[in-house]
Each structure stands twice: as structure tokens, then as C-alpha cells.
Amino acid sequence: MLTVLFTSDYEIHGNGEGCPRELMVEPTDRMLAQFERYGARLTLMADVAEILKFKEYRDQVGRDDCHYGAIVDQLRGAVRRGHDVQLHLHASYFNSRYEQGRWQQDWSEYNFAALEAERLNQIVRLGKDYLETLLRPVWPAYECFVFRAANWAVSPSQNVVRALVANGIRIDTSVFKYGRRQGRVNFDYTTACSNLKPWRVDERDICREDPDGRLLEVPIYAERRRLGAFLTLQRLYRAVLSWRHRFSDAPAKGSPQPPPARRAGGGPGRLVRLALGWHAWKADFNQCTGRQLIRALERAERSVASTAAGRDVPFVLIGHSKLFTRFNQRSLEPFLEFVAARPERFRFGVFGDVAAAGWCEHGGGQVAERAEGVGHG
């Protein structure tokens, strides 16, 4: 059986622009309501670095312009209703300041995986402590034990894995097989163990398996696809939004330039490679249609039919609250209906169910048991 895990990165635009209520709170309210109609559960990957800056701004100026109170209420309400909240970090926000309508970030900390070991340990601990302090009054058994890096940047791996393990993080969900980046961050996940099944990581290379590894990688589901698979209206919307909120070439006075977005090879040759090459197609519920996701889920089901060793296998989808439009909401309906109508083949879950299925050393039964009846209270 496949366990369908919806994860949503809970954040504003990457260049520091945008209203948290419009980009985080309002779309997530709609997402939670839609999922609950089908018994689905959502894991909010909360960018604690941003959220802490919103709190700091409120405390300093005496106005909640960044809607910190609404964010806190939403995260607590989500957990109370049977959903989950886990850790996401855009480290460049920790030293940011609000100027000229946007958060001017510390670009020296943009690439999470490139940070020094001591800094990684510090900010992971800060993020975990914040979420547990915030959410345990709502659910005393809450634990922050899952992590996703900003921009999927967990390579080079050694310092990242050590920092996560040292702070009680048992699952990472940053890797997507076939993914490659060169520019503001750099990684190559083409050699990842699997596009679907979890593995215990070798701290020297998160793509490799070590049976004795202390961190479990639960990858975002991905396939190797041609460009045509990416042509959806939602992806066009994402491209337009990214252009509108691109990194500025003229930051505020005294602010450093953002790191360059280098591209390997330019000109006509790059366009040919783009058109004819293979690319990492993630199960992104913002940018894929519901019917595309259904077909991907069926392919994933066939791929594990004889190799799951009796354990439920997680099928991890990624999304972003800021991209959850009403059009996206309608497009997702067929997928939710498809999963909900086939309980003998699929179920909705959270990362606690991954632990409870035996993929982790530590049980997650409390999470799975607590979530029964989601959407009815």
C-alpha cells in the first residue's frame, strides 16, 4: 500500500516579498478545508526563520503587519485538527531586515548546505525548539523530527546530516531523484537511492545508503520526464510569479547582492538541451494536474508491488502555500477523489505513519493513532 503524504512549504516569496496572510494563511486555510473533506492530512513545512522574523518585527514596532498571530493560530489549529507541522529553514532570513517593502536577506547564509557545522547545529536546534514550544501546549506529544532544507540544499551532506541527527531530527525530505542545480545552490541527486522508497543515509553522501545510518531520507516523489510533461497552466503561473518576484539586481543601499543564478552553457545549445533532454518531474500538487498525479501514483504503485517487504511506502508530494490558487484547488480534486475512493490501495498520512510502518527505529504510533477521523472536529 502507498501512503500519500502532502507536504506544503509554508513561506513567502524567495526574494523576501509578499504578505504572509495572502501567501501563507489564506491559501492554507483553503488547503486544509479541501483536504479534510477527503480525510487527507497535510504536513506544513514551516519556515521558522521567516516566522521568527515576523515575530521580531511585531515585538519591535508594536504592529502585527506580518500577521504573526494568525500564523501561530493556524499552525496550532492545524495540529489540533490532526494535521502536522515540521521544520523548514531559509537560513538567509535569520539575519534579515525589513527595508523598502521586502526582507533584505543575509545572502551569505542562502545555501543551507554550505553553512559551517556549528551554524547548522545552532539554527536546526533553534527551529526545532521553537516548533515544540509553540505546539506542545496544543498537543503534548508533538515532536519536531522531520526536516526540509530551503531550495532542497542538503549537499554536501556531512555537516547537514550530523546537525540534524544531533538535534533529534530522524527524517529528511529534501531529496528528489534526478534533481540537479547549479547556481545559487548546487546539488546533484541523480544518483539517489530511490525516487520513492526511503533509505538510511550515508552522512558523506545523502544519495547513498548506509544500513547503519541515523537519518532516514524520505524522498519527494520524482520521475525522469521530457519537457512536455511540464506543460501545465499551473507551471505557467509559477513562472510568471517567479519573474514578478525575482531577485533584485538593485538591492537596498548597504545590502549585499544575492548570489548569482549561474546556468551551465547558454545560447541556442542550452535551449536544445532543455527541449530534448530529460528533467526531474516532481509530484508537485501546485504545478501538476490532478490527473497527472493519478497516473504518477499508479506508476509508483506498480514499481513497489513486489519490493515493499510488507511495509506501506510513502508517496511524498510537495507544494507551496503561496502557489495554491483556486484553479489549483479545482485541478487537485480528481486526485483527492481517486485516493479516497481506493482505501484498499492507498491511504493519506503524515510522517508519523512512516515511522510507524517500520522505516524508522523509533515508533510514530501516537501520530498515526491521533489522526483518525481527521476533518470531523
259 prior amide bond cis, ω within 30: no
C-alpha cell at 10: 509554508
Q: How far is CA 282 from CA 182, 312, 361, in A?
A: 18, 20, 28
Per CATH, the architecture of 2-246+266-370 is what? Alpha-Beta Barrel (3.20)
* Helices 26-37 and 68-80, axial angle in degrees (round to 10): 10
Q: Which three cell numbers stand for residue 222?
A: 520524482
How far is it, in rounded angstroms, from Cα 251 to Cα 290? 39
Q: Are strands 279-282 and 222-225 parallel, antiparallel or unpaired?
A: antiparallel
Residue 233 confidence (pLDDT): 86
Question: Model pTM?
Answer: 0.90
pLDDT of residue 177: 97
* 377 residues of the chain, pLDDT tens digit each: 999 999 999 999 999 999 999 999 999 999 999 999 999 999 999 999 999 999 999 999 999 999 999 999 999 999 999 999 999 999 999 999 999 889 999 999 999 999 999 999 999 999 999 999 999 999 999 999 999 999 999 999 999 999 999 999 999 999 999 999 998 899 999 999 999 999 999 999 999 999 999 999 999 999 998 888 888 888 888 889 888 898 864 444 445 566 666 555 555 666 556 665 788 999 999 999 999 999 999 999 999 876 556 789 999 999 999 999 999 999 999 999 999 999 999 999 999 999 988 888 643 333 333 433 333 33
Per-domain residue ranges of the chain: 2-246+266-370
**CA atoms of 346 and 224, how far apart (whole Å):** 23
